[in-house]
Amino acid sequence: MALSKKPTTGMKDILPEEMEIRDYCIQIIKETYGSFGFTSIETPAVENIANLTNKQGGDNEKLIFKILKRGEKLNISGAESEDDVVDGGLRYDLTVPLVRYYSNNSAVLPSPFKALQMGNVWRADRPQRGRYRQFMQCDIDILGEVSNLAETELILATTTTLGRLGFSNFQIRINERRILKAMAAYSGFAEDSYESVFITLDKMDKIGMDGVKKELVENGFDEASADKYLALFEGITDAKGKDAVTALNSLADTLGEYLPKEVGISLTEIIEAVEATKTADFDIVFDPTLVRGMSYYTGTIFEIAMPEFGGSCGGGGRYDRMVGKFTGQDVPACGFSIGFERIVMLLMERGFKVPDKKGRVAFLIEKGISGERLSGIIKTAQEKRDEGTKVLMVRMNKNKKFQKEQLEKQGYTEFEEFYMEELKH
Amino acid sequence: MALSKKPTTGMKDILPEEMEIRDYCIQIIKETYGSFGFTSIETPAVENIANLTNKQGGDNEKLIFKILKRGEKLNISGAESEDDVVDGGLRYDLTVPLVRYYSNNSAVLPSPFKALQMGNVWRADRPQRGRYRQFMQCDIDILGEVSNLAETELILATTTTLGRLGFSNFQIRINERRILKAMAAYSGFAEDSYESVFITLDKMDKIGMDGVKKELVENGFDEASADKYLALFEGITDAKGKDAVTALNSLADTLGEYLPKEVGISLTEIIEAVEATKTADFDIVFDPTLVRGMSYYTGTIFEIAMPEFGGSCGGGGRYDRMVGKFTGQDVPACGFSIGFERIVMLLMERGFKVPDKKGRVAFLIEKGISGERLSGIIKTAQEKRDEGTKVLMVRMNKNKKFQKEQLEKQGYTEFEEFYMEELKH
């Protein structure tokens, strides 16, 4: 009969202190993205198992929490494999559900469609510190906008949100899949080896130029190609704002016919527009080493780098051919995801407290106070609540000092005490 | 490779129009309950299967979405029953998770603990119109408060919230499990038949006094007991506010020693305190026919009745012995749940529109506008957004009239148009 008190392996109970920060972030995020015309949508946590296992999810497909069939459809003793007993699974990201949602509802959705999704996803990853099997993702996507207005708006919406959440001095690192490809082609790598080259390039921040060269050669690539390739990156790293545009144009000149002209022009437009209109305190950085793992990106790619947090704190890009893979008809698409759990963690670590509108008051009411006297006290509380003050009504404990200390930890800074004999007050 | 476009059976995609109302409700609910000192908490969607199948959930336990074991722990071909292949399940309510959460974290939680939970639950019910297999529940609970301040606060917080959501002219119907029992005892029913009597009584609003009497007699109860029992209900139905107190006290007098004195006194206090301090437009009604299904209630029980919606729109009560059943130590507990999905449905049906802070403007930008000109337009948009206006930036379509009509449907009432040649503006 006894419950196991612990949450299920790898998942966590969220305590009030963290929840307050999460609720605050959710509100700021919804409000800010809303001001950019993004509309919230929601899909079920459960998707048909076939939708989750069609190879769009890469390694995440190995981590699915699968759902057992029910009723007559389930035949355990006759089953030979998982496929025989499951019909659903918990979503491992919000992209597959978005694409399904869009194809299911496109007739009634505006075009372009600007979607905001905040929702939990589940992955049966090996449990480790700070990573949980249930976590919230926060994605914005624009479907049906072919121009780079999509990229600019996504970057501005995301950075404005981060700014309002109190983050500054971060970077948006930006690149283009077609620049990656042009650089590889220019250097003489064969087209079917690009993905392998990019996997090595992606390690640049960890192993440096020399490490990348060494790994390329070890992987059997021509040393001359490796040298030519690495020379392209010289002096570009961390080129910000106007310098980013200069570095980009210089690289485009070098690449010549390997890079379609419009790629350089479009990326320049995005960088210049963001630089000219940004409201948060961040730098936009052209980073030709930025790869981003997911191979479904077709154009611009970007990532948030936070000085306080080693790795990436979100990212995204253009994926113009993904909807088509599912529906048969391509739809231009571009998205940006912020690392919600990391943002909450960073706010917790810096001791962030959610600002109260009008403070918090605790009413300590001596035991025995009832009837009209109690109603009078409640009336006072109701008036304060109506003005936006948080009012907690509690019975007074014998150890009032300890009780107040505990309440102070919950953010109650003011106290009013009510006694049976009014004079004592 | 093709996705199935439909959501999984019995679950639904939530469209932007509904989402806007849901987000609005969530915000009002969190803000209002917050002002009463309730703190948000969250538990994982997945619970250990043993916690979900220990008979606390009644019939809901038959409706669990069960989660397949993973990796080495799973042996499909050797399995004989569900128990062999599952280790988790999706929660079917928020009460079992709350009790687990409380016992897991009570050392760091305040006492009394006022919790707000808003979260999805899953039940593999037979799909039917307007009922889905994933739906949101919204519960407030106070754990550790033995006095009726808990009931009063729960009712005030719930009704204040409903008022802020635009509901009026509703009822809070209230009763006490011990009054139900005293009435049954007074009428001569045997203690082991109470639950059966209450199941029949629960049908009063559908089958009336005569129907209840008929069913009691059919079920083999003594006709004299049935008559004595039904006479107790005469003239009490729909006694509001002061009349409720009069009716309650008159009933308590009749029941005499069958009803502990403090029950009548406490219920009177709750009714009087709510009546004296309520801020929303509703009636508190003493309803001795109110049963509420869940047998874990130990004291006060209550329900929201909405004129616009036939059935109950939420309810709750005191369940002082439930925590103890799980942990071995009783903790006084009282909760109130509002029917979130029903509230959203009612708002949708009455054509409710979420009020904008500062309106919505759509910027229609002719194709080809780029560079500094575009940055200038974005800058204007950013300034308006900063003031709280929703600004949608979109490329102008060839059929501008149609485009505007579509945007009007999304709530955009103002338009600004930007052309390549400025003079055309």
What is the distance between the alpha carbons of residues A310 and A33, in angstroms, rounded to a whole number?
26
- Cross-chain residue pair B110–A410, CB shorter than 8 Å: yes
Contact B14, B329 (CB under 8 A): no
What is the distance between the alpha carbons of residues A268 and A263, in angstroms, rounded to a whole number?
8
Q: Residue B34: what pLDDT?
A: 96
- Cross-chain residue pair B375–A273, CB shorter than 8 Å: yes
Residues B309-321, buried b or exposed e (16+ Cβ, 10 A)? Answer: beeebbbbbbbbe
Q: Which residue has the higher pLDDT, B73 or B237?
A: B73
User: DSSP state, A4?
Assistant: P
Q: Residue B422: what pLDDT?
A: 66
Q: Residue A311: what pLDDT?
A: 75
- Say how many residues make up chain A: 425
- Cross-chain residue pair A378–B156, CB shorter than 8 Å: yes
Which residues on B lie below 8 Å from A79 (Cβ)?
A: 76-77, 79
Q: What is the 3-state secondary structure (H, E, C) of B356-424?
A: CCCCEEEEEECCCCCHHHHHHHHHHHHHHHHCCCEEEEEECCCCHHHHHHHHHHCCCCEEEEECCCHHH
Mutation to test the A interface, candidates B4, B6, B8, most A Cβ within 10 Å: B8
Cα distances (Å, whole numbers) of residue B309 to A39, B122, B314, B317: 29, 23, 11, 21
Q: Residue B167: what pLDDT?
A: 94
What is the distance between the alpha carbons of residues B35 and A314, in angstroms, rounded to a whole number?
33
What is the distance between the alpha carbons of residues A362 and A400, in angstroms, rounded to a whole number?
12
Contact A279, B382 (CB under 8 A): yes
Distance of alpha carbon A144 from the chain centroid = 22
What is the distance between the alpha carbons of residues B149 and B300, in angstroms, rounded to a whole number?
12
Q: What is the 3-state secondary structure (H, E, C) of chain B?
A: CCCCCCCCCCCCCECHHHHHHHHHHHHHHHHHHHHCCCEECECCCEEEHHHHCCCCCHHHHHHCCEEECCHHHCCCCCCCCHHHHEEEEECCCCHHHHHHHHHHHHHHCCCCEEEEEEEEEECCCCCECCECCEEEEEEEEEECCCCCHHHHHHHHHHHHHHHHCCCCCEEEEEEEHHHHHHHHHHCCCCHHHHHHHHHHHCCHHHHHHHHHHHHHHHCCCCHHHHHHHHHCCCCCCCEEHHHHHHHHHHHHHHHHHHCCHHHHHHHHHHHHHHHHHCCCCEEEEECCCCCCCCCCCCCEEEEEEECCEEEEEEEEEECCCHHHHHHCCCCCEEEEEECHHHHHHHHHHCCCCCCCCCCEEEEEECCCCCHHHHHHHHHHHHHHHHCCCEEEEEECCCCHHHHHHHHHHCCCCEEEEECCCHHHC
Q: Residue B61: what pLDDT?
A: 85
CA end-to-end span of chain A: 48
- Cross-chain residue pair A88–B34, CB shorter than 8 Å: no
- What backbone phi and psi angles, to 5 degrees, belong to A94? -105, 0
Structure tokens at B305: 């009745």
Q: Would you tell me how many other CB atoms lie within 10 Å of the CB of residue B215?
A: 18
State the ipTM, two decimals: 0.94
What is the DSSP code string of A322-373?
Answer: HHHHHHSS---EEEEEE-HHHHHHHHHHTT--PPPSS-EEEEEE-TT--HHH
- Cross-chain residue pair A8–B122, CB shorter than 8 Å: no
Is the minimum CB–CB distance between B69 and chain A shorter than 8 Å? no
Contact B105, A13 (CB under 8 A): yes
Which residues on B lie below 8 Å from A276 (Cβ)?
A: 372, 375, 378-379
pLDDT tens digits for B278-331? Answer: 999 999 999 999 998 767 899 999 999 997 777 789 999 999 988 887 778 899
Which residues on A lie below 8 Å from B5 (Cβ)?
A: 100, 103-104, 327
With residue A417 as reference, give the H or E element that holds it. strand A414-418
Q: What is the bridge-based pairing of β-strands A414-418 and A239-240? A: unpaired
Which residues on A lie below 8 Å from B42 (Cβ)?
A: 13-14, 19, 22
- Cross-chain residue pair B3–A393, CB shorter than 8 Å: no
Structure tokens at B118: 């808003």
CA distance B328 to chain A (A): 8
Q: How many Cα atoms within 13 Å fall on the side-chain side of residue A117? A: 28
* Residues 76-135 in B contacting A (C-alpha not used; CB under 8 Å): 76-77, 79-82, 84-88, 90, 96, 99-101, 103-105, 108-110, 112, 114, 120, 122, 124, 134
What is the distance between the alpha carbons of residues B373 and A229, in angstroms, rounded to a whole number?
36
Which residues on B lie below 8 Å from A395 (Cβ)?
A: 145, 147, 149
B77-80: long-range contacts at Cβ-Cβ below 8 A with a sequence spacing of 24 or more? B77/A79, B77/A80, B77/A81, B79/A76, B79/A77, B79/A79, B80/A76, B80/A77
Contact A300, A291 (CB under 8 A): no
- Cross-chain residue pair B109–A16, CB shorter than 8 Å: yes
CA distance A175 to chain B (A): 19
How many CB pairs (< 8 A) connect A and B?
Answer: 313
With residue A261 as reference, give the H or E element that holds it. helix A261-277
Helices (H) and strands (E) in chain A, counts: 15, 15
Structure tokens at A165: 């959440």
Mean pLDDT, chain B, as a whole number?
A: 93
Handedness of CA A51, A57, A61, A63 (dihedral sign): negative
Mutation to test the B interface, candidates A6, A8, A104, A414, most B Cβ within 10 Å: A8
Residue B59, judged by CB atoms within 10 A of its CB (0-12, 13-18, 19+), counts as exposed
Contact B216, B170 (CB under 8 A): no
Is the minimum CB–CB distance between B345 and chain A shorter than 8 Å? no
For residues B26-53, give the mean pLDDT.
Answer: 96
Cα distances (Å, whole numbers) of residue B364 to B367, B369, B412: 9, 11, 12
Is the minimum CB–CB distance between B65 and chain A shorter than 8 Å? yes
Digit-by-digit pLDDT tens for chain A (425 residues) are 467 889 999 999 999 999 999 999 999 999 999 999 999 999 999 999 999 988 777 788 889 999 999 988 988 888 888 889 999 999 999 999 999 999 999 999 999 999 999 999 999 998 787 789 999 999 999 999 999 999 999 999 999 999 999 999 999 999 999 999 999 999 999 999 999 999 999 999 899 999 999 999 999 999 999 999 999 998 787 889 899 999 999 999 999 999 999 999 999 999 999 999 999 999 999 999 999 876 789 999 999 999 777 778 999 999 998 888 777 889 999 999 999 999 999 999 999 999 888 899 999 999 989 989 999 999 999 999 999 999 999 999 999 999 999 999 999 999 999 998 764 54
Q: Which of B275, B22, B379 minimizes the C-alpha distance to A40?
A: B22
Phi-psi region of A128 (alpha: psi -120 to 50; beta: other; left: phi over 0): beta
pLDDT tens digits for B180-202? Answer: 999 999 999 999 999 999 999 99
Which residues have a Cβ under 8 Å from the Cβ of A85 and sit 6 or more positions away?
A: A68, A69, A74, A75, A76, A79, B68, B76, B85
Q: Residue B294: what pLDDT?
A: 67
Is the minimum CB–CB distance between B1 and chain A shorter than 8 Å? yes
